Each structure stands twice: as structure tokens, then as C-alpha cells.
Amino acid sequence: MVFYPAMNCLATWFLKRRGLAFGIVAAGASLGGNIFPVMVSNLIPKIGFGWTMRSCAFLVLALMICANFAVISRIPPKSQPFRINDWIVPLRNPDFCILCVGSFFIFAGIYIPVTFTIVQAERRGVPVSIAQYMIPILNASSTLGRILPGYLGDRMGYLNVFLSMSGLSAIITLALWTPSQGLGAVLSFVLIFGFSSGCIVSLLPALIARYGSLETIGTRTGITYLFISLAVLVGSPVGGKLVVVNGGDYTYIAVLAGTMMAVGSVFFAYLRVR
């Protein structure tokens, strides 16, 4: 409810450097992904769970006060009745429909490594004291991956950069995360995947903005992330079930994640050809 309206407002202010703008904004999520895990793990032993959560809430409150003063759309909102047809019309655009389906498959796989990185690292021989910092490390790499590809997308084309990074995410998951053993291999995967997946998250809103007018970007964003929400809802629980079926081994979920991202990349490759 907070994230998507903010991204929609941002799209109304930028055109030539829209990718970089989205990348900078999306990097805030990666920064939070560095701060909160470390903050929580260090505060709970000192002040307990309750006051740790309250401390997080006070930090969020301070940030949201700043955001409420800063986030504004260049185009004034128009009051209009809800019409179901407004959600159907964008899907009549074949290119936008391909984007939604491709996004579904990519995001069905992309959050599986994020969800299981810590426990998979422990299973593959990484010390627990180091494994717990895999998510902050991934998010640190993702911060750079959200800003730099956005800058390149403004010059080389958003779809070109997005497709290259989605392909890299699929390849690195299948080629490195699947067989990885020990700290070196797991850490290499986390750094590379953090960078490539960060690009996917930050450039998708810029792609959505291409397929229609700015006045309807909120509807198109909602439709796209409806597809994504269903994919994320299914992806990790299915991955968890595969771990159980495979006796606690994480090979099956690595193959699932990489395959889903590869299939999504095929849809975006088709979109690029069109």
C-alpha cells in the first residue's frame, strides 16, 4: 500500500533518467535489508523482543513521516468510479500481457534463494555465525545492482538490461547455487545474485511505464504486481515442500528457482524480439 503509490508518483517526474530514478528509490529497500536484520539480531539479546520491535516501529515511523512530506505526484489525481473494465483493457495489449506473464515466472523463482539462503548456507557447510549475515550481504550487493543497471538502462534500453540480468540470475542459480559447497561458493552466489536480482526489482517499474499513458500507470502497476504477488505466494512454500520431500537437501529448490527465472527470461526475450 505504501511502496507502489510511491513508485507511481516517481514515474510522473522522470522520463530520460527514469531507470536511474527508480534504481535510487528501490535501493532504499536494500538499505533497509541491511539495517533491520543486523539491528534486530543485536537488540533482542539486549532489550528483548518487544522493545526491539518497538525500536523498529519508531524507525519506520520517522522514515514514513519524511516520506509523507516528500512523495507527491506531478499529475494531480483524478476522481473516477471503479470500473472492472479498467483492469481488463491493459491486458488487451499483447506486449503488456507478455510482461505480466514473464514477471510471474521470474518472481516465482527470484525470492526462493532469498528465503532459503541462510539455512541452505548452513546445510552446505557455512558456519552459523557467518550464515546469519548472508541476507545483509545479499542486500548490500543488491543496492549496487539497483542503481547501476538503472543508469545503464537509460542509455542501453531498460528491456536489454533487464533481460541480461534476469538471464544471469537464472544461470547463476542453476550453475552455482545448485552445487555450491562451502563459504566461498555460497558467498560468491550471494554477491552475484544480489546484484542481478536487484536490477530486476528496480527496472520492472520502468518497463511497466512504457506500455501505456502515465494517467493509467497505477492500474498497470497493480495488474503486474497482482501477477507477481501470486507467484511469490506460491514460490517459497513450494520450495519448502521440495526440501522436505528431498530429505532436507536444497538441490530441488535451486533447480526450481533457476528454471522459473529461465522461463520468465524467455518471455522477456520474446518481448524484446517483438
Per-residue pLDDT tens listing for the chain (274 residues): 888 788 778 878 887 787 788 788 878 887 887 788 888 888 999 999 999 999 999 999 999 999 999 888 888 877 777 778 777 888 888 898 999 999 999 999 998 988 888 888 888 778 887 888 888 888 888 888 888 877 787 788 888 989 999 999 999 999 988 887 778 888 888 899 988 888 888 888 888 878 777 677 778 888 898 999 999 998 888 988 888 888 877 788 889 999 999 999 999 999 999 8
What burial class does residue 138 get, using C-beta atoms within 10 Å of its C-beta: 0-12 exposed, 13-18 middle, 19+ buried?
Answer: buried
Q: Report, in angstroms and rounded to the nearest whole number, the Rg of the chain calculated over CA atoms.
A: 19
CATH superfamily of 3-75+86-273: MFS general substrate transporter like domains (1.20.1250.20)
Closest CA to 105 of 237, 272, 273, 257: 257
| pLDDT at 77 (0 to 100) | 75
What pLDDT, on a 0 to 100 scale, did the predictor assign at position 61?
95
C-alpha cell at 20: 536511474
Q: Are 256 and 245 in contact (CB under 8 A)?
A: no
Q: What is the pLDDT of residue 146?
A: 80
Q: Are 202 and 150 in contact (CB under 8 A)?
A: yes
CA-closest candidate to residue 91, choices 218, 223, 3? 223
At 172 the pLDDT is 92
Of the candidates 106, 269, 114, which has an alpha carbon nearest to the alpha carbon of residue 177?
Answer: 114
Q: What pLDDT is stored for residue 166 in this prediction?
A: 92
What is the pLDDT, as a whole number, of residue 52? Answer: 93
Residues 253 and 119: their CA atoms lie apart, in Å, by: 12
Which cell numbers hold the place of 252? Answer: 530441488
217-219-222-225 Cα dihedral, nearest 10 degrees: -60
The pLDDT score that the predictor gives to residue 259 is 93
In sequence order, the 6+-apart residues with CB closer than 8 A to the CB of 7 are 22, 25, 205, 221
Q: How many CB atoms lie within 10 A of CB 272?
A: 12
Rounded CA-CA distance 255/58 in Å is 40
- First CA to last CA distance, the chain: 33
Instruction: Give the Cα separation of 207 and 201 in Å (integer).
Output: 11
SS3 assignment, position 248: coil
The C-alpha atoms of residue 61 and residue 64 are separated, in whole angstroms, by 5
CB 84 within 8 A of CB 210: no
